[in-house]
Chain A
Amino acid sequence: MKKKIQLLIIFIFTLVPFKAISLIEVDITRGNLNPLPIAISPLHIDEDSEKIFFEETKIENLGIEITRVVENNLKTTGLFNPLSKDAFLQKPDIAHLKPRFEDWALIKAQALITGKVTITEKKIRVEFRLWDVLAGKEILALAFTTVPNNWRRVGHIISDKVYERLTGEKGYFDTRIIYVAEEGPKVKRIKKLAIMDQDGFNTKYLTLGNELVLTPRFNPTNQMVTYLSYFRNLPRVYLLDIETGIQEVVGDFPGMTFAPRFSPDGKKIIMSFASDGNSDIYTMDLETRVVERITNHPSIDTSPSYSPDGKYICFNSDRSRYQQIYVMKSDGSDVKRISFGKGLYGTPVWSPRGDLIAFTKLHKGKFYIGVMRTDGSGERLLTENFYQEAPSWSPNGRVLIFYRETKTDEKGEGFSAKLWSIDLTGYNERLVITKTDASDPSWSSLLSK
């Protein structure tokens, strides 16, 4: 009985102080998804540096040009709203020294970028600062030195740093995209391998267009590319070193190999090998050239893609009669079907973040690009069109790039293939400008890590 009374007293005393010291709490679980208003003050360049730079590159104001790159990058994300420069009240050089935060807050800016460019010993030095306008403090300051021709990359790196500081995730601006450049009528298409910066600038062609090329994929760790081309009229997987231009056929298979992709460590290639109407998944070690069979099933298994930790592989197969997405361990065991929706699923690609798998879906004559969790739950279709496929992730796993084809008219004209990007929200869909028609894009990892 005594114990019971003691317990009761303790119980009462534990309750009483809570009431005395507790604080009113309000849970904020919603916010707005409006892009963050950001002021990008043109990077200041002194007159002497401007003259020297103009002599070398014929660009009048490097500061403004770099600012334009940053502004364009941040705007395309859909997460930032770069404010009009007409509204700026403070001059760039003074703002870089000490911004008047009241002036920037007046035009509703929440973040501010300032900076300056100088040229010394034929190299450019670009420094920039990122300010939190409302808190009234500097939150990032960096400087880069490089050769003048590299100025666009400097703009991309600044964009990456700002993006990372304000969103918490890595950027994807200092990256390149490899794709198949297409020219000519649909029946007689010339296809070349091409590479460009993620914003569509600095396009270079890697092949001449004599052979058909398809599905180029970047090595996540270096500047190697794997793709499919024709060798003795058979589709074969190739390797190409972008820096040296050397290319080679991967493996010596009697049949056709296709749908190649690198492993996350870049040491293996995973691909499909088809013979006698059956297609299975194989890997090849690039150092030892040892080939390993991963699946062994009478159905068509293709489009393999590794998880970022290399432990799992997703692929598509028609082993359940219709083409669906499956996940298995990297040794081929424990195969599980993860897609169960209506329609056909193909080209699964594991996100670099590891949480999602992107895919192409065909349902009732329409093509969709969508994502689902790695267990198949939470399927979301991001975009719908007449024909679109081959999604490829940005290195931060936030944006997908894919290609879309338009219908040909009765005369057989009007056909085009273009690259498009869409972010995970599904709202920010953009056309990626390329010099020619384009298909089969693949996003590189960040060049500056």
Chain B
Amino acid sequence: MNKEIFFSFSFHLIIIFGATLTLPFLLKKPIDLPPIISVELIQITEKTNIPFAPKAKKIIEKVKEKEKLVSEQAPPKKVKKEKPDSIPLPDEKIEVVKKIEEKKQNPEKVEDKIKQVSEFEKKEMFDLNQIAALIDKSKEEVAKTKKKSNKITQSQDDSVDMLSLTLSEEDALKAQIFGCWSIPLGLPYNENLLVRIKLKLKPDGTVIKSEILDHVRMNKPGQGFYKVLAESALRAIQLCQPLRVPSTGYERWKNLQLNFDAREMLQG
């Protein structure tokens, strides 16, 4: 009798345990699928055939005019006008100047803002080709501000993996060296011919020093193939430099190791 109860209890326990593991998926909400965006494929011709293009042009011009008005009504001009309007007594004069200074919160920033807006507008109006340059400038400025503050630099470095290049950085470097490396086709494909070269680089990617890690193997008898491969790898580095290294994070990649392995290519 006890046995039966024990078996029944354990059997139910197993079912409950199984149910707790498997059934909760029923409670999960169905995945919210985003609405489908329909895309119409059109043929691209040399001339545009959009009928409302002139209308759009008018709208753009109107918007620009409005923006111009905004810049004309810039607040600092009002500040300048305040000075000649009132003719205070000598004692009062000092107080008014102080008050004006208090009203101006971060006066330098306001001036900067005004300047930026007006300069941008002028350039947009007259030289559209400079937009790319402006974007680059803004990037540079961001980089400068980050450099100024140590805290920001550290946090930025932490976000990047210290031990590797990003995929795009690595791909750029690889693609460059692929083009420079003439693989000696006479080498056997079934031998271990991995050449490891340690590089010390300048920030612009120029090679300061290159060192073959297994250089002892170069002059050993019967290692002719290794020597040939190592020399070809060194030639590739010489030919390629300055290497396409990332523009930032010099500390990260100033020492770099390149592993040249031709087996994949030699096997065909």
The listed residue (A23, A24, A28) touching B260 by CB distance below 8 A is: A28
**B202 part of interface (Cβ distance < 8 Å):** no
User: CA separation between A168 and B262, bound complex, in Å?
Assistant: 13
Report whether A28 and B227 are in contact in the complex, using a CB–CB cutoff of 8 Å: no
Q: Which of A3-11, A30-38, A359-367, A436-444 contacts B (4 or more CB under 8 A)?
A: A30-38
| Any B CB within 8 A of the CB of A26 | yes
- Total interface residues on B, CB under 8 Å, equals 46
Tell me, in angstroms, the Cα distance from A24 to B165 when the chains sit together. 7
**Nearest CB to that of A139 among chain B residues?**
B231
Cα of A166 to Cα of B184 in the assembled complex, Å: 7
In-complex Cβ contact of B225 among A24, A36, A163, A168 (8 A): A168
- Judged by a CB distance under 8 angstroms, whether A27 is at the interface is yes
User: Chain B residues near A35 (CB, 8 Å)?
Assistant: 182
**Closest chain A residue to B190, Cβ basis:** A355
CB distance from A46 to the nearest CB of B (A): 33
Q: Are B259 and A27 in contact (CB under 8 A)?
A: yes
**Contact code string B185-226 (vs A, CB < 8 Å = 1, else 0):** 111101000000010000000000000000000000000110
A79 at the interface (CB under 8 A from B): yes
Cα distance A353–B188 in the bound complex, in angstroms:
10
A169 contacts B268, C-beta separation under 8 Å: no
Given contacts A22-B163, A28-B177, contact A167 B184 (CB under 8 A): yes
The segment from B12-20, B98-106, B250-258 found at the interface with A is: B250-258
Chain A residues whose CB sits within 8 angstroms of the CB of B231 once the complex forms: 132, 135, 139
Give which listed residue, B164, B187, B235, contacts A135 with CB less than 8 A: B235
Across-interface contacts of A79 in B (CB, < 8 A): 184-186
0/1 per residue, A78-111, Cβ < 8 Å to B? 0100000000000000000000000000000010
A18 to B268 CA separation, bound complex (whole angstroms): 36
Contact across chains for A23 and B178 when beta carbons are under 8 A apart: no
Digitize A115-126: 1 where CB-to-B-CB distance is under 8 Å, 0 elsewhere.
000000000000
- Any chain B CB within 8 A of the CB of A134? yes
Q: A26-B256, A134-B239 are in contact. Are A19 and B163 (CB under 8 A)?
A: yes
| Shortest beta-carbon distance from B173 to chain A in Å | 6
Chain A proximity of B230: nearest CB distance (Å): 10
B182 engages A36 (CB within 8 Å): yes
Tell me the smallest distance from the CB of A215 to a CB of chain B, in Å. 29
Q: How far is the CA of A29 from the CA of B233 in the complex (A)?
A: 11
Known: A25-B257, A168-B229. A32 touches B235 (CB 8 A): no
Q: Which residues of B contact A23 (CB under 8 A)?
A: 198, 255-257
- Chain B residues with CB under 8 Å of A110's CB are 182, 235, 239
A26 engages B174 (CB within 8 Å):
yes
What residues on A are CB-neighbors of B257 within 8 Å? 23-26
**Chain A residue, CB-CB nearest to B255:** A23
B51 interfacial contact with A, CB 8 Å: no
A167-B193 Cα distance, complex, nearest whole Å: 14
Q: Is the CB of B186 within 8 A of A168?
A: yes
User: How many angstroms between the C-alpha atoms of A30 and B176 in the bound complex?
Assistant: 11
Decide if B170 is an interface residue (CB 8 Å cutoff): yes
B268 neighbours in A (Cβ, 8 Å): 380, 425
Of the candidates A24, A32, A163, the one whose C-beta lies within 8 Å of that of B178 is A32
Minimal beta-carbon separation of A92 from chain B (angstroms): 24
> A329 interface residue, CB < 8 Å from B?
no
Chain B residue contacts of A139, Cβ below 8 A: 231
CB-defined contacts of A33 to chain B, threshold 8 Å: 182-183, 185, 265
Alpha-carbon distance A357/B214, docked complex (angstroms): 34
- Which residues of B have CB within 8 Å of A398? 186
Verify if B179 is at the interface (C-beta below 8 Å from A). Answer: yes
Asked whether, in the complex, the Cβ of B185 is within 8 Å of the Cβ of A167, the reply is yes
Report the bound CA distance from A33 to B170 in whole Å: 22
Residue numbers in A under 8 Å from B184 (CB-CB)? 79, 166-168
Report how far A79 CA is from B183 CA in the complex, Å. 10
B238 nearest in chain A by CB position? A134
Residues of A within 8 A of B186 (CB): 79, 163, 167-169, 396, 398
13 new A-B contacts at CB < 8 Å, known A19-B163, A24-B257, A32-B180: A23-B198, A23-B255, A25-B256, A27-B259, A28-B181, A30-B178, A31-B180, A31-B262, A132-B235, A135-B238, A166-B184, A168-B187, A355-B188
Q: List 8 A-B contacts (CB under 8 A).
A: A22-B163, A24-B163, A26-B165, A30-B181, A31-B178, A32-B183, A33-B265, A166-B228
Q: Which residues of B contact A (CB under 8 A)?
A: 163-165, 170, 173-174, 177-188, 190, 198, 224-225, 227-229, 231, 233-236, 238-239, 252-253, 255-265, 268
